[in-house]
Structure 1
């Protein structure tokens, strides 16, 4: 059977088959059914044959199998084996067909690389451990680069590498060479971090090793540098490690200069990934503990409140939620409340975020306003909140529905703000909240 492929469809699938611009719009390209994947009906890039004898494109059949399907899509036969055997004959026929039609603008499909296997990953990991024990950083770097290259080839390869314990092995190697000399092994350590970032979340053993004192000091060292990529990888790794154990947070907080490095990341906003990770690291550091007040004071001194408020002015949802979480934690302490209270943007930004971003952002915004209005000398905050329409916002929050804690805080805020409502003539009793819907 021969299927015709008109040019408009080919244009929509330009990544599959590209037709030259000089062709007439009426030109048809006939593609043999044998060359099409039975699942997607697209030209196969990497044909593989199952035990049922049917050939599919590797990417499509892997997606089918990963969805817990146990049968062959065409024959519905239960697969005794999920082994995918490369069909070199079909692949060469497809390549010859592409070459034959190159005058029509068809690009030759490149010969695919064989996917990495569990055995290959295990062998590389064993060699990395052996080289680490010998202190052979050059060999380690060569093997880590090999893992990195194989991972770049496909998402399947990445999954295979992760599933075979590479994250733990790289964490062990990172910890060892960081304890020997960071400066001497800078290139290797940086490369390991760059690979680890797509292996998260790590298992408990990997997080434990990466949370050692020497590993944390190495990541802090990268944070202080000027290499943007290394700083991003370091803060992403720190987010992974500090989220799992308060002991790691305490160890990291003891390192000189980490607060300055994190605030610099927030200030510069080199990329959304780094900004989100930095906010999460700060959040874990200032969450209630026996050292959080001291750390919070240091962050306040470095101007963190101002930088967080700047993020809140125009940040997207993910960053906004994390920035609000940090601000809420800062306001658990008097010094944080003072800094937030003294900034002109604080109350306007918080009131604006209510019912504008997400349920979580609304809850946190209400929480921060509640802390500011209940604080010592909170009368000025209450007056400003009423002037900005916070009373109306609290009514909407209660009418639309919220969590129990937010409900309690919004109710208390209404009582606090009500004493200024008539005096400031900010409340319109005719306002109808009937059709308001809470953000999702």
Structure 2
């Protein structure tokens, strides 16, 4: 499907019955649970594979996880899609002058749809909008002042499209966070994260991550506790890896002060990350999520409250050990730093025992002899000294930390 056509289809009004309650996208293969609620097959299977035994929409306990194809709804969706394809056409191409006229006029959903189609039509059109200070300032002003969630979503789409151009990030930072519109813009992002589509939520988190370019901008975003909480909720969207990654990335970008870290701990970020790490999915699709999850733990582990919360969460500590050397080099180094923080820096005996019980000593030795950084290797050495004292029956007792061959795990 052409890029312009795909963007246009986002603005076709979709009957709510046709949307999956989890992904909020049009269902491709609708199936029903025993509760009578219908989901897209891929979304509900992902939910169930994470070990959930409840219906996501009603939170009722499921007597059975069996799903039944909803053939009637499937036929209705196919009929609606065929009629939509026949009746809907992409917005008529507009000239640069017409695009300029739209920028200087009152924004409506139709005119913004034309603008999005214009931007998608060519790289030249994208640059025309991205390099226009007047255009970006107008978009920011309307984004701050509009009460219509759809207008806000479409402007976020435009921000997302033009953000890859050089200089746009800095201009968005200046116009959104250094102007009189700052509070209203952040409130608009909050409203999208509360009420917008799944795709708009992800794009909003990405834009917030993009404009958090310095300590001052990070502080301004983080001080909006409603926005901070909604980003945490986005990172807690278990059935949508893109949403979780976007939420965690934005939180990482703005969690630079102790008060912010304490708020995240209060929200339950450690418990959320513990659930992510304790999952059984090792596919490439979740690697970016795991890496961000380990990074956010490393961030909160820099404060006393964070180390305490991590030590108290069995899923979290065990999940870190389980994921060592199973995701990426960065995730492993983040994980080692967290384990060192609770076992060596905080000297938490409960955490030490939990790590030892799940063969953490073996994992740490494996990391120690891998191609890790010097700092990580040093932390591994300190962890080995602590964990050996807790590992009384380990078959690693005769091994020295510098050995080149260790028992596989």
Query: Superposition pairs for residues 302-313 of structure 1, below 5 Å?
Result: 302-313=267-278
Distance 1:360 1:377, change over 3 A: closer
Distance 2:101 2:302 in 1: 49
Say yes or no: does 1:251 pair with 2:224: no
- Could you tell me which of 236, 239, 250 is aligned with 1:267? 236
TM-score, length basis structure 1: 0.62
Deviation at 1:296, TM superposition (A): 1.4
Three-state SS of the structure 1 residue aligned to 2:104 is: helix
Deviation at 1:237, TM superposition (A): 1.7
Say yes or no: does 1:147 pair with 2:125: no
Deviation at 1:151, TM superposition (A): 4.5
Distance 1:320 1:219, change over 3 A: same
- Could you tell me which of 163, 168, 172 is aligned with 2:137? 172
Indicate the residue corresponding to 1:284 in structure 2.
253
Query: Superposition pairs for residues 358-377 of structure 1, below 5 Å?
Result: 358-377=328-347
Three-state SS of the structure 1 residue aligned to 2:162 is: coil
The 8 Å contact of residues 125 and 169 in structure 1, kept in 2 or not, is answered as no
Distance 1:169 1:313, change over 3 A: farther
Distance 1:420 1:436 in 2: 18
Moved more, 362-371 or 158-167: 158-167
Q: Deviations over 1:261-300 (max 9, x none)?
A: 122212224633222111011112223xxxx211111111
Query: Superposition pairs for residues 62-101 of structure 1, below 5 Å?
Result: none
Which runs of 5 or more residues in structure 1 are unaligned?
Answer: 1-112
Distance 2:103 2:247 in 1: 31
Three-state SS of the structure 1 residue aligned to 2:302 is: coil
Q: Larger Rg: 1 or 2?
A: 1
Moved more, 382-391 or 323-332: 382-391
Say yes or no: does 1:209 pair with 2:175: yes
Query: Superposition pairs for residues 13-162 of structure 1, below 5 Å?
Result: 120-121=95-96, 123-131=97-105, 136-138=106-108, 141-152=109-120, 157-162=121-126
The 8 Å contact of residues 238 and 281 in structure 1, kept in 2 or not, is answered as yes
Deviation at 1:231, TM superposition (A): 2.4
Deviation at 1:367, TM superposition (A): 0.5
Question: Number of matched residues?
Answer: 304
- Could you tell me which of 268, 288, 296 is aligned with 1:326? 296
- Could you tell me which of 131, 152, 155 is aligned with 1:189? 152
Indicate the residue corresponding to 1:241 in structure 2.
211
Distance 2:173 2:397 in 1: 55
Indicate the residue corresponding to 2:312 in structure 1.
342
Distance 1:231 1:203, change over 3 A: closer
Deviation at 1:234, TM superposition (A): 1.9
The 8 Å contact of residues 228 and 270 in structure 1, kept in 2 or not, is answered as no
Indicate the residue corresponding to 2:394 in structure 1.
425
Say yes or no: does 1:301 pair with 2:261: no
Distance 1:276 1:196 in 2: 19
Distance 2:319 2:176 in 1: 37
The 8 Å contact of residues 248 and 292 in structure 2, kept in 1 or not, is answered as yes
Distance 1:279 1:254 in 2: 17
Moved more, 400-409 or 228-237: 228-237
TM-score, length basis structure 2: 0.66
The 8 Å contact of residues 151 and 161 in structure 1, kept in 2 or not, is answered as yes
Indicate the residue corresponding to 1:397 in structure 2.
367
Indicate the residue corresponding to 2:58 in structure 1.
none
Moved more, 268-277 or 161-170: 161-170
Distance 2:264 2:248 in 1: 12
The 8 Å contact of residues 102 and 111 in structure 2, kept in 1 or not, is answered as yes
Distance 1:158 1:382, change over 3 A: farther
The 8 Å contact of residues 149 and 192 in structure 2, kept in 1 or not, is answered as no
Deviation at 1:169, TM superposition (A): 5.2
The 8 Å contact of residues 313 and 349 in structure 1, kept in 2 or not, is answered as yes
| Greater relative contact order (CA < 8 Å, ≥ 6 in sequence) | 2
Which runs of 5 or more residues in structure 2 are unaligned?
Answer: 1-89
Distance 2:103 2:275 in 1: 45
The 8 Å contact of residues 219 and 234 in structure 1, kept in 2 or not, is answered as yes
Indicate the residue corresponding to 2:202 in structure 1.
232
RMSD: 3.1
Moved more, 201-210 or 402-411: 201-210
